[in-house]
Amino acid sequence: MKRLALVTVAAAGLATALPAAAQFQKPEDAIKYRKAAMTVMANHFGRIAAMANGKAPFDATAAQGNADIVVMMSKLPFAGFVEGTASGETKAKPEIWSEPDKFKNATTRMQDEVVKLNAAARTGSLDQIKIAVGDVGKSCKACHDNYRKE
């Protein structure tokens, strides 16, 4: 557990270096922020996934650039899941706050998988990118299945 906690802190980096609640003036600001960060992350992951799925031509340089963005974005949304933001314009399930360790594990898994995706993108091998895209996708789905309302 200690090791996991350290990995989490390292992966989350700056975003958790400040008290999260202090970063947002109102609950709706936190909700808007985390959704925005997810939107940007999903878009850039989607561009790599499109290459992996043959829906876009493979461009190794673009895949690397997009993977860099995904890694940075992966650190951001979770500072927005502060207490008092379970209602409003959000699909967040209350389990995010009732089982915080499990939620953190799920987010850390995604953060670890996108680091692997970035490494795969740097090999320039579409086959390796395909595998990593699949693993990232599974980590997204696992967290959404448990912590996001339909």
- Which stretches of the chain bind a second copy, using CB under 8 A? 13-14, 17-18, 22-23, 29, 32-33, 35-37, 39-40, 43, 47, 56, 59, 61-62, 65-66, 68-69, 72-73, 76
Of the pair 64, 108, the CB lying nearest a second copy is at: 64
Residue 13: CB minimum distance to a second copy, A = 7
Residue 40: CB minimum distance to a second copy, A = 5
Q: Is 131 exposed, middle or buried (0-12, 13-18, 19+ CB in 10 A)?
A: middle
Give start and end residues of each alpha helix (H) in the chain.
Answer: 2-12, 27-52, 60-74, 95-98, 100-123, 126-147
Of the pair 59, 95, the CB lying nearest a second copy is at: 59
Task: Report the alpha-carbon angle 93-109-59, nearest 5.
Answer: 110
Residue 103: CB minimum distance to a second copy, A = 21
Of the pair 43, 98, the CB lying nearest a second copy is at: 43
Of the pair 16, 105, the CB lying nearest a second copy is at: 16
Of the pair 15, 102, the CB lying nearest a second copy is at: 15
**Contact of 125 with 47, CB cutoff 8 Å:** no
Q: How far apart are CA 30 and CA 90, in angstroms?
A: 10
**Contact of 129 with 121, CB cutoff 8 Å:** yes
Q: How far apart are CA 140 and CA 43, in angstroms?
A: 13
